[in-house]
Amino acid sequence: MNSFRLQLLPIVCFLLLFACREKQEQAIVDSETIDNYLDQVHLANPLPGLAVVVVSGDQVYSYASGLRQVQDSLPFTRETMFFAGELSEVMIASTALQMERLGKLQLSDKVSLHIPYFRLEGDYQDISLHHLLTHTSGIPNFSPAWDMPAFDEEALAATTQSIVYQPMEFAAGTRAKRSPYNIDIAADLLHHIGQLSFEQVIQEHYLNPMGLQHSTFDYRQFDTANLAMPHHIGHWLTYEQRPNEIYPYTRENVGSYGFHTTVNDVQHWMHWTLNHPPTRLFETQYKTGKDTYKGYGWDIFREDENLIFNNHWGAGGFSADMSLIPDEKLGVFVWTNTMDDFNPALISSQLIGHLQGKELTPVKPPIHIVMSKLLAEGRCMEEVLAWFEEEHAKAESSYEINPTLLGQLGVNLLHRLQMEKEAIQVFELAVAEYPDSPQAYLNLSEGLLINGDLFRAKEVFDQAISMKAPTTPYVAFLKERIELALENQQNT
């Protein structure tokens, strides 16, 4: 072996070792394990349909189970079209970035230069497409009016014009606060720049080139015979799922909430995007906290040295969570056609952890749902609470038990079923079982307030504050309600 080969050998060995290490470090997608886990999730929670996509490098996995419509027992499959909510923002941002690469626009373009009727009270002339896509424009937040849908050609222009007399909440680029109107106006802007309908612009510049053949923003292309319908819990003791009366679509909000897709298309998009990342889509654009940021369609946070790009939402009877770690080429998407009492982020977090080598936590039925169903069967509250105490005392219960879930039962009884006495019984038990939980005391305080026991409500509230309960809008609102009720009592 000549000297050149001797010099080359260590380099070749290093490269081979590095390649092997790269291959070993890529997370393995264990389809059977994930299948079993998701089957348990679906059994333990009142979900009509459940969709999951997992990507790890070149490996892809998808899951579709349950019903797209419970009334007629219609199955949900990988080909079923479904409402994708705030994932719309990522698609619009991706389209804008693609049009910028083609030289058709700049994200720094001022909105008012392209849309003559765009204006607010304040320095609206400074608002750019970049500000819209990062929710740093200062445009006030309004909820979509799905009860009064508009589908005409001027619907997007009507949305843009509807804020003409609204004052800006802050100067563009100085803060971040989500408003769906940012994305609806961005859609109107793409329409003006592309000189086609918004739906055609996004189809021609992004969805079609990406090969998303079964995805659209155009309601006229919805396959209504194969469309997943939204659901809500019809009764808060039996947890029966019922279809929503209003489908969450109106062209006035097509930008912020108009995207419809399939499991197969989401799988294709995630795999391509993670393995061929468009750089600016995975950049932090605005710092919102110590380790949190806004991106183009993403809330971004740092966890274990990784940046996680998250798109999480619940709207109109649907909910979903997409979490991507571009540096590791990992991604998880979880979706369901209900939004009551289920947090898809808990499932995506478990799956991300599993891909990173952690064990999946065994799935157990949530204790508050089991207790609700016992009440629906005719058990008295005292019997159900005694049963909870027995389960909580066990070294290993068959049910998921924590103060949040027990409190959720009380909240459902208090606000959704107007069973104040029973709710207070639950809250009293939560305080006894979890004496270090400020939220348990806050829940009890609200129950006592609604039941008219004002002095004790104030006493319990003060105890929660002494335990350093977090300052939230709920806490401030509860404090105000208690003080106002006490003041009115003194004046009578």
Which of 333, 355, 377 is a domain's end point?
355
Tell me what the mean pLDDT of segment 9-29 comes to: 46
> Same domain for 318 and 392?
no
The whole-angstrom separation of Cα 274 and Cα 280 is 13
| Within a domain: 446 | yes
| Within a domain: 4 | no
> Same domain for 343 and 377?
no
Which of 332, 355, 378 is a domain's end point?
355
Reply yes or no on whether the pLDDT at 348 is more than 70: yes
> Same domain for 345 and 375?
no
| Within a domain: 12 | no
| Within a domain: 274 | yes
> Same domain for 371 and 351?
no
| Within a domain: 417 | yes
> Same domain for 245 and 179?
yes
User: How much is the pLDDT for 313?
Assistant: 96
Res. 26 pLDDT band, cuts 50 70 90: low
Res. 22 pLDDT band, cuts 50 70 90: very low
> Same domain for 290 and 212?
yes
- Please tell me the pTM assigned to this model: 0.89
Tell me what the mean pLDDT of segment 189-213 comes to: 96
Tell me what the mean pLDDT of segment 31-54 comes to: 96
Reply yes or no on whether the pLDDT at 375 is more than 90: yes
| Within a domain: 64 | yes
- Name the domain count of the chain: 2
Reply yes or no on whether the pLDDT at 10 is more than 50: no
If you write DSSP's letter for every residue of 432-489 in order, what string do you get?
Answer: HH-TT-HHHHHHHHHHHHHTT-HHHHHHHHHHHHHTT----HHHHHHHHHHHHHHHHH
Which of 329, 355, 381 is a domain's end point?
355
Read off the pLDDT of residues 271-303 as tens digits, 9 standing for 90 and up. 999 999 888 999 999 999 999 999 999 999 998
Read off the pLDDT of residues 91-111 as tens digits, 9 standing for 90 and up. 999 999 999 999 999 999 999
Give me the domain span that covers residue 49.
31-355
| Residues in a beta bridge with 324 | 309, 331
| Within a domain: 8 | no
> Same domain for 76 and 211?
yes
> Same domain for 375 and 351?
no
If you write DSSP's letter for every residue of 183-250 in order, what string do you get?
Answer: HHHHHHHHHHHHTS-HHHHHIIIIITTTT-TT-BS-GGG--GGGBPPPEEES-TTT--EEE-SS-S--
Q: What is the CATH number of the domain that holds 406?
A: 1.25.40.10
Q: What are the structure tokens assigned to 300, written together? A: 């971004």
> Same domain for 275 and 392?
no
- Give the residue from 305, 312, 346 showing the smallest Cα distance to 47: 346
User: How much is the pLDDT for 16?
Assistant: 40
> Same domain for 350 and 371?
no
> Same domain for 108 and 74?
yes
Mean residue pLDDT of the chain comes to 92
User: How much is the pLDDT for 258?
Assistant: 96
Q: What are the distances in angstroms from CA 268 to CA 101, 258, 331, 434?
A: 22, 19, 12, 45
Is the CA virtual torsion 381, 382, 388, 392 positive or negative? positive
User: How much is the pLDDT for 25?
Assistant: 58
Q: Helical H runs in 362-419?
A: 367-376, 381-393, 403-411
The whole-angstrom separation of Cα 421 and Cα 419 is 6
> Same domain for 128 and 160?
yes
Q: What is the CATH number of the domain that holds 64?
A: 3.40.710.10
User: How much is the pLDDT for 150?
Assistant: 85
Read off the pLDDT of residues 416-435 as tens digits, 9 standing for 90 and up. 999 999 999 999 999 999 99
User: How much is the pLDDT for 1?
Assistant: 42
| Within a domain: 21 | no
